[in-house]
Amino acid sequence: MKKLFNLDQPIIKNLLETDTYKIRMLYFIWTFFPKAKTKFAFTNRTKAVPLAQEINLNELREQVNAVAKLQFSDREIDFLRVREKYPEKFLQFLKNLKLSDIFIDADKDGQLLIETEEDYWTKTTLWELIVLPIISELYARNTIARQNISEREIIINGEKMFKRKLELLKNSGVKALQFGLRRRLSANWEKHITEMALDLMPGVIVAISNMQLARELNFPYAGTNAHELSMALNALRWAEGEEKAWQAQYEVFEKWFQLFPKEQRIILPDTFGSKQFLDNIPQKLALEAIGFRQDSGNPIEFASWVLAMWQRFGINPLERVLFFSDGLKPEKMIRLYQEFYQTVKVLFGWGTNFSNDTGFIQALSIVMKLIKANGIEAIKLSDNLAKAIGERRALKRNKKLYGYDVNFNEECVY
């Protein structure tokens, strides 16, 4: 690897450079909610870093404006036509898709203010996986320049650190999806260490979430789904009353299962608290789901809830998947694998620690979440209080709706 950054090119060069679940969720949105309007906003959970002072706002705007001009190319549409089972009408929709407007500024505390226009959900959703890697890479570039750090030194040390991880994972039994796009150090670094992983520990990385990178490397891509869908449906259904709002957490996956085959039916249950979701899950949904993804809270406790639910419905765990994706490092993956591999199929989503850990630059805890759906406040509660997001009044009414009593609170560190 010769250089960390391609300074003469946009950071995001095409709309296929996104996580697998973004295109699949876009298909879900296009199918069921084509007229819904939503708004997304950026949050930096690493409050100690004043990002608007660390990143040149004009440079950020240039990068975002470059993406705003992009559309799916014929080659990208052909790739999806061959690899996915989308109807031709959806592919034509993608070909003509133009993203919503997006606004960038700074607040009085030196943090970034980034919000999409309140526009059709189909036009706003892709911005999340555009804004996050752009900010992460610009922060890395500017930190390196300001501290006068040698790119070569970062590459050498990053490779050394990553090889130690590979040695731990090799022959460990761990199987993981590469989930590193959103908070990666750079596009070049993500590609470089993915190639290293595939070469030095074959069989550990079983798929790549970044569709463009998977395409370049001729490697399988995969993904699940995100909190966005549950957040949006909850907000949309509040207009129809509390019962509909509560039921929305299951309606999401009932609709998802209508569109996608068994291997893509992994449920993310923590948007409004995993325990209440699993305690009340309809039997039909539990039987049709191939697995459950843990993305917040205590992973051992989460697993016990899922296993108890499977036992309740007479489901054999060895035929199902526990998918862990919360702030994972090799040591944690190995511990969880050894804890559960004899009971259930275990899979991991290895993200920021994979793609942004070189010993020089702090990986930021940054997110871009849905904040409104058809003008109604959207929220996420989570199994970790530190990951909750949303307007206070909307949080309060949803805590009451779901009987939310979580007290787990852990800083998001990668």
The whole-number average pLDDT for the span 74-84 is 96
Mean pLDDT for 369-393 is: 95
Residue carrying the six token digits 């299962």: 257
**Pairwise CA distance, residues 315 & 179, whole Å:** 29
Residue range 235-247, pLDDT digits in tens: 999 999 999 999 9
Query: By the 8 A CB rule, do 366 and 47 touch?
Result: no
Confidence of residue 409 (pLDDT cuts 50, 70, 90): confident
Rg of the chain taking only CA atoms, in angstroms: 20
Residue tagged 């869908």 (tokens): 229
Model confidence pLDDT, tens digit, residues 273-307: 999 999 999 999 999 999 999 999 999 999 999 99
What is the mean predicted confidence (pLDDT) over 88-102? 98
pLDDT of 413 over the 80 cut: no
- Strand ranges for 191-287 from DSSP E: 205-208, 266-267
Distance from first CA to last CA of the chain, Å, rounded?
24
Confidence of residue 140 (pLDDT cuts 50, 70, 90): very high
The span from the CA of 390 to the CA of 372, in Å, is 9
Q: Does residue 258 register a pLDDT over 90?
A: yes
What pLDDT digit, counting tens, does each position of 24-39 carry?
999 999 999 999 999 9
Residue 6 has pLDDT above 90, yes or no: yes
Residue 414 has a pLDDT of 62
Q: Which has the closest alpha carbon to 150: 358, 298, 340, 398?
A: 358
Residue 14 has what DSSP assignment?
S
**Which residues lie across from 115 on neighbouring strands?**
41, 103
| Residues linked to residue 42 through DSSP beta bridges, in sequence order | 368
Q: Is 315 helix (H, G, I), strand (E, B) or coil?
A: coil
Contact predicate 221/214, CB 8 Å: yes
Residue 411 in this model has a pLDDT that exceeds 80 = no
Position 407 scores a pLDDT of 87
Tell me what the mean pLDDT of segment 194-209 comes to: 96
User: Contact at 8 Å (CB) between 195 and 210?
Assistant: no
- For residue 233, what pLDDT is reported? 98
DSSP-assigned letter for residue 170: T
Mean pLDDT computed over every residue of the chain: 96
Q: What is the mean pLDDT of residues 127-142?
A: 97
Confidence grade of residue 55 (pLDDT, cut at 50, 70, 90): very high
pLDDT at 353: 96
Q: Above 70 in pLDDT, residue 11? A: yes
Cα–Cα nearest to 227, from 174, 277, 288, 184: 277
pLDDT of amino acid 287: 98
pLDDT bucket at 2, cuts 50 / 70 / 90: confident
The two most distant CA atoms of the chain are separated, in Å, by 60
Residue 179 has a pLDDT of 96
How do residues 204-213 score in pLDDT, each as one tens digit? 999 999 999 9
Residues 6+ apart with CB under 8 A from 273: 381, 382, 383, 402, 403, 404, 406
Residue 410 confidence (pLDDT): 81
Domains and CATH numbers, the chain: 20-148+366-402 (3.20.140.10)
Contact 190, 210 (CB under 8 A): yes
- 1 pLDDT tier (thresholds 50, 70, 90): confident
**Residues whose CB is less than 8 angstroms from the CB of residue 48 and which lie 6 or more positions away in sequence, other chains included:** none
